[in-house]
Amino acid sequence: MRYAMLVYETEAGVKARNDPEYQAAYKAYIEAIYGTGVAVGGSGLQDAATTATTFRIINGERQIQDGPYPDTKEQLAGFFLIDVPDLDKALEWAARCPSTARGGIIELRPALEQPSWPRASRMEGCCRSCWSAPTILRGQRTHSPRPSWRR
Amino acid sequence: MAAVTQWPIDGVPQNPEAWLLTAARRKVVDAVRRRRTSDEKHVLLQRHLDDAADGDFFGDERLRLLFVCAHPAIDAAVRTPLMLQTVLGLDAARIATALRVAPKTMGQRLWRAKTKIRSARISFDVPVEELPERAFAVLEAIYAAYGSGWEDVAGQASAPRGLTEEAIWLARLTLRLLPDEPEARGLLALMLYAEARANARRSEDGAYIPLTEQDPSRWDPHRIAEAEALLLKAARMGRVGPLQLEAAIQSAHVDAVRSGAPDDRAVSLLYETLVKMTPTLGVRVAHAVAVAKTEGPSRGLDRLDAIESTATADYQPYWSARAHLLERIGRHDDARDAYDRAIGLAEEDGVRRWLLAKKQALEATASPSGTIRKGS
């Protein structure tokens, strides 16, 4: 079952992005969630207040605004697309997310079934430090044993 | 040793038994002395239990309920919440949060279990031959309530505070109802040891403190004394089980920190026995750590390597233990990767920060190529 794991951060959480300890914790979390084959995609997002742009059509008229939708105290700070057997397992990974220790909120949304999606490859039978999930998603079988930022 | 009894497992030397008894006995006098000054909450709880057990009917009814909840036809995953709801009356949402399950899912599971009890006409009576096994299922479910995420590997204990009080209450009730079951004593002792250290696990600024570095003066002496007394009495009953063994290991840890002289051999023997009885992932990892202490880190690593990798991929204590042992044998690159995995899997921020610090310390002593700098 695929879930979108949406990570919302408070202002304190966004500020913590410059904290080396928080960065290291997040790096380890990302490595673990991809390394176990749980995450099949996702990304952190730049600050919503200064970089988001919202588009919609109201009464047939195009409206483009600076800023996020909805404009709230917490902002969508990143997301993972995860493939887990059930919601219990999804909650396990949500509990591990470093954002929650900084007041972050995680919303788990089961994805609509999309038969055309490639199945996520699990790391069984692969090396211990396998980071192949994203490459397999792109249809490539080869992978580097370590994520590119570590080489 | 007057009360030495036969261990039911072949090949286990007398040492752990003798050790278990002396360790527990040493403090039993203190236990009686301290019991008088035990805190008011304890007294209230005791009175509450007395009231409950006075009426035979009520006591019996609850025992029946506990046993029904642990019926083999009931999915093991729902036994704990079922007990918490039917015996303690907790609501589904609270149980769900404490056990980290979605409230809606928990509601459905409880409803399905209750429907099954009704429609499959699960008997409220327990056949005599099934009693020991069912009693163990009851105790296991109570232990699960103590904290589903609670692990204790080389003293890296972390207990979610959620349902610990409730679990201890249930264990007290079960012990009242099953006084001749040594494992019921073992379970209560085990949880009291862990609970006694609850306040010592964090510094004032919230940093995680591993067991070996804890300040014993911050432990609750009443709980430890009570645990020691329970364990002693259980040991005298002469039927050793996994919960007593786990309690004995706790007793050894407590003793080690207090005396400054850890008895690693005893702990290793206790784990060896435990791993034969209940080869769960947690026990196997803890056993490997114990072996590392008595036979060296590479022997410990061998034990870790013997565990299937599919089971360990997202098991944090495994990666913590692995990182630690790899570091000790100088495989710094591998140790760093293992620390990273452990950090990524940590749920508690205190534990996460502690692991980050350990990894940083490793990087400070190792050069980028992974070799040890001269003089470090």
Contacts of A30 in chain B (CB under 8 A): 344
Cβ <8 Å between A123 and B341: no
Kindly provide the ipTM of the predicted complex, given to two decimals. Answer: 0.73
Architecture of domain B279-364 in CATH? Alpha Horseshoe (1.25)
Range in A80-89, B19-28, B127-136 the model is least confident about: B19-28
Q: Contacts for B58-67 with beta carbons within 8 Å, 24 or more apart? A: B59/B176, B59/B177, B60/B177, B62/B87, B62/B173, B62/B177, B63/B174, B63/B177, B63/B178, B64/B124, B64/B125, B66/B138, B66/B170, B66/B173, B66/B174, B66/B177, B67/B124, B67/B126, B67/B134, B67/B135, B67/B138
* B339: nearest CA partner in chain A: A28
Domain boundaries, chain B: 14-278, 279-364
Cβ of B314 within 8 Å of Cβ of A123? The answer is: no
Nearest CB to A98: which of B340, B341, B352?
B352
* pLDDT band at B39; cut points 50, 70, 90: very low
DSSP state for residue A119 in the 8-state scheme: P
- Nearest-Cα distance to chain A for B344, in Å, is 4
- Does the predicted TM-score (pTM) go above 0.80? no
Which of B105, B314, B352 is facing A25, going by the closest CB pair?
Answer: B352
From the CA of A89, how many Å to the nearest CA of chain B? 9
**Least confident window among A1-5, B131-135, B159-163, B241-245:** B159-163
Distance from CA of A129 to the nearest CA of B (A): 8
Q: Maximum Cα–Cα distance for chain A, whole Å?
A: 55
Q: Count of A–B CB contacts within 8 Å?
A: 64
Q: List, as one string, the DSSP characters of B94-153.
A: HHHHHTT--HHHHHHHHHHHHHHHHHTT--SS--GGGHHHHHHHHHHHHHHHH-TT-B-S
| Interval A44-73: pLDDT, tens | 999 998 999 999 999 999 999 999 998 889
pLDDT at A4: 97
CATH number (1.10.287.1080, 3.30.70.260, 3.40.1550.10, 3.30.70.1060) of A2-48+68-150 reads 3.30.70.1060
* Facing B344 at nearest CB: one of A33, A87, A128: A33
Domain boundaries, given as residue ranges, for chain A: 2-48+68-150
- For an interface test with A, the pick among B158, B319, B337 (most A C-beta atoms closer than 10 Å) comes out as B337
